Amino acid sequence: MAGRKNSERRENQPVLRTGGKVFPDGSMLELIQIPNGELGFLSWNGKSAKTERQFVRHGETFAPLFVDPTILPWLQLPSNIAEYGSTRKLFTEICGLISRTQVDDGFAKAASFSVFATWLAEYLPVAPFLWIVTPPTSAVGPLLQVTHLLCRRSLVVSDISAARFRFLPVDLRPTLLMEVSQQSRQVLNFLRASKRHHALVAADGRAVDAFGARIVFAREPLRDPESAGFPLELVLPPTSQYVPLMSPPEAERIAAEYQGKLLRYRLLNWAKVHTPAFDLNQFTVPMQEIAYSLAASIVDDDELQSQIVPLLKTFDREIRVDRASLLPAIVLEVLLARCHSTTGKYFPVADLTGDVNTVLRGRGEMLEVSPENIGWTLRALGLHTDFIPGGRKGLVLLDGVRKKTHDLAAAYGVRTLRELPAKIECPLCAALALPWNLGANPVGPIVNPA
């Protein structure tokens, strides 16, 4: 990873401070902690590695970034590299360590995928982001400890905002393990920004790139997953028996062993990150990004990579259900019904509003929307009203508007669209590739017969 470089002069030779670097020939610098506790480099030439305090290349001297001495003892860093065997072997070992905290197999696997992703985060489209719900009946400490030992450059922090973020070693792209007590807008905005590359946040009068892996431990589920950037949400199960924390010597041994193995995994595989072998189109857009990032971090094992698919299906269905319950989806449901009727091409906004309120009442909703609400919703969908006969505002359902309505209805997972192709002959419905029509093939794309 190319960190921020702060130039200074030392003995008339430029010294470039960095948290890591990939050179054009594929050789790399990785930040490590040397035995005396100070920062140094592991230099990798593609085949072998050596440790050094500074690194000189083509007349340039590279030195480790400054890290506040009050933070350094709590920042998880490797001290060297270690053999790990195969991707499958390393994944199984990490999954076993996480399972020791009394989580189920699905939770352990999802968390293991996330651990791998933290080591390759800058090569992924979005940073790995877990939101772990921790009810009072569950023990947080053991899981927090083991993820801190395994993730890349991990640091445990309390509730954080952009203002506090500036005190952390942001140039190192640390994996932040955060205990969040309140879902404040400030915290959620920060988390959403940190998922994206080059999404700057304002911190103490300067812009800071917040990109990095995040694991949040929170008492409650996210009320609005979109507000935080759609993290992968897991629920920590109740603890049936006491799970002790690892002793300091054991924790130190685990960290040394697996930080070294995962660093070697990173060095050998960073250039192999690519689009997963399975079809991403079976997921909604937010889940496509998660699936890509978690699966692409698993290299040289397509079968293991594909195991993320059933783990994400449940979360993807929840996104579809939530999206289908939104006002835009209900507006599209009413528009879709009008497209399949013989009422005519003009649809007044007042009539559309009445039909939407009828649907809402039929589903037990107390909400009643106004024509103004409907107008703004149509505008947000890219459907524009016009004056229609009688001097009223409405939609003109020409062919282009009908097609757009169908496309939007499919994207929003409109409920009635699931049944319409079987009940009505509509070429626009037939042309849609709907992921919920997969039937007995839940992990693959739709195949249209020739």
Q: Which of 65-74, 139-148, 220-229 ranks highest by mean pLDDT?
A: 139-148
Burial class (CB in 10 A: 0-12, 13-18, 19+), 132: buried
The closest of 309, 281, 317 to 413, measured between CA atoms, is 317
Q: How confident is the model at residue 435 (pLDDT cuts 50, 70, 90)?
A: low
Question: Do 147 and 292 reside in the same domain of the chain?
Answer: yes
- 72 lies in some domain: no
Residue 129, pLDDT above cutoff 90: yes
Q: In what order do the strands lie in the sheet with 39-44?
A: 20-22, 28-33, 39-44, 49-52
Q: What is the CATH number of the domain that holds 392?
A: 1.10.10
Q: Report the phi/psi class of residue 126: left, alpha or beta, with left for phi > 0 and alpha for psi in -120 to 50.
A: beta
- Per residue in 361-384, pLDDT (tens digit) is 988 888 889 999 999 999 999 999
Question: Do 343 and 419 reside in the same domain of the chain?
Answer: yes
Structure tokens given for 176: 């932040």
- With residue 183 as reference, give the H or E element that holds it: none
Partners of residue 40 on adjacent β-strands: 32
Distance CA 433, CA 450 (A): 15
Q: How confident is the model at residue 439 (pLDDT cuts 50, 70, 90)?
A: very low
Q: What is the length of the chain? A: 450
- Per residue in 89-125, pLDDT (tens digit) is 999 999 999 999 999 999 999 999 999 999 999 999 9
Q: How confident is the model at residue 296 (pLDDT cuts 50, 70, 90)?
A: very high
- 120 lies in some domain: yes
- 384 lies in some domain: yes
Question: Do 297 and 342 reside in the same domain of the chain?
Answer: no
Question: Do 283 and 415 reside in the same domain of the chain?
Answer: no
Distance CA 180, CA 91 (A): 28
Dihedral sign, Cα of residue 289, residue 291, residue 293, residue 299 = negative
More confidently predicted of 207 and 27 = 27
Instruction: State the residue range of the domain holding 244.
Output: 87-320
Evaluate if pTM is beyond 0.75.
Answer: yes
Q: Where are the beta strands (DSSP E) in 290-398?
A: 346-348, 386-388, 392-396
Question: Do 149 and 281 reside in the same domain of the chain?
Answer: yes
Buried b (16+ CB within 10 A) or exposed e, 209-227: bbbbbbbbbbeeebeebee
- 159 lies in some domain: yes
Question: Do 336 and 273 reside in the same domain of the chain?
Answer: no
- 228 lies in some domain: yes
- Per residue in 229-288, pLDDT (tens digit) is 999 999 998 887 888 999 999 999 999 999 999 999 999 999 999 999 999 999 988 999
- Return mean pLDDT, the chain: 87
Question: Do 211 and 310 reside in the same domain of the chain?
Answer: yes
Number of domains in the chain: 3
- 171 lies in some domain: yes
Dihedral sign, Cα of residue 210, residue 95, residue 237, residue 245 = negative
Question: Do 130 and 249 reside in the same domain of the chain?
Answer: yes
